[in-house]
Amino acid sequence: MKISILSPDLSSNCLGRAYLLAKILQRHYKIEIVGPLFTEKIWPPVAKDKTITYKFIKITGRIKAYWELKDLLRLVKGDIIYAVKPLFTSFGIGILLKIIKKKPLILDIDDWQMGFVKEYDKGIGFVRRYIFSAIQFYNMASYWNSLIGENLIYFADEITVSNNFLKKKFGGTIIWHGRDPKAFNPKKFDKDLIKKKYKINKNKKVVMFFGTPRPHKGIEDLIEAISLIEIPEVLLVIIGMDNKYSYCHYLNKIARKTLGKKFKTFGIQPFNKVPEFLSMSDVVVIPQRKNFATIGQIPAKVFDAMAMAKPIIATNVCDLPDILKGCGWIVEPEAPQKLAKIIEYILNNPEEAKKVGLKARQKFIEKYSWDAIEKVLINIFKKYE
Q: What are phi and psi of 109, to 5 degrees?
A: -120, 110
Count of all residues that appear for the chain in the document = 385
pLDDT at 123: 62
Q: How far is CA 10 from CA 15, 222, 246, 281, in A?
A: 5, 30, 21, 30
For residue 84, which of 6, 141, 140 has the smallest C-alpha distance?
A: 6
Q: Is 231 exposed, middle or buried (0-12, 13-18, 19+ CB in 10 A)?
A: middle
113-120 helix and 143-150 helix, angle to the nearest 10 degrees: 150
CA atoms within 13 A on the CB side of 380: 26
pTM: 0.92
Q: What are the strands of the beta sheet with 312-315, ordered from one edge? A: 263-267, 234-241, 205-210, 283-286, 312-315, 329-331
Structural domains in the chain, sorted by start: 2-178+370-382 (3.40.50), 186-367 (3.40.50.2000)
Q: Tell me the three state secondary structure of residue 314.
A: strand
Separation CA 273–CA 47 (nearest Å) = 13
Look at strands 30-37 and 234-241 and give their pairing: unpaired
pLDDT at 138: 64
Q: Chunk the chain into consecutive blocks of 10 residues (it has 385) and report each block's average pLDDT, rounded to whole numbers.
A: 96 94 96 93 93 91 69 93 96 96 97 86 61 62 86 97 97 96 95 95 96 93 96 96 87 93 93 95 97 93 98 97 98 97 97 98 97 95 89
Sequence-separated (6 or more) residues with CB below 8 Å from residue 62: 135, 136
Alpha helices in 28-142 (DSSP H): 44-47, 64-69, 72-75, 93-101, 113-120, 126, 133-135
Separation CA 30–CA 92 (nearest Å) = 23
Q: Is 278 exposed, middle or buried (0-12, 13-18, 19+ CB in 10 A)?
A: buried
Q: Tell me the three state secondary structure of residue 156.
A: coil
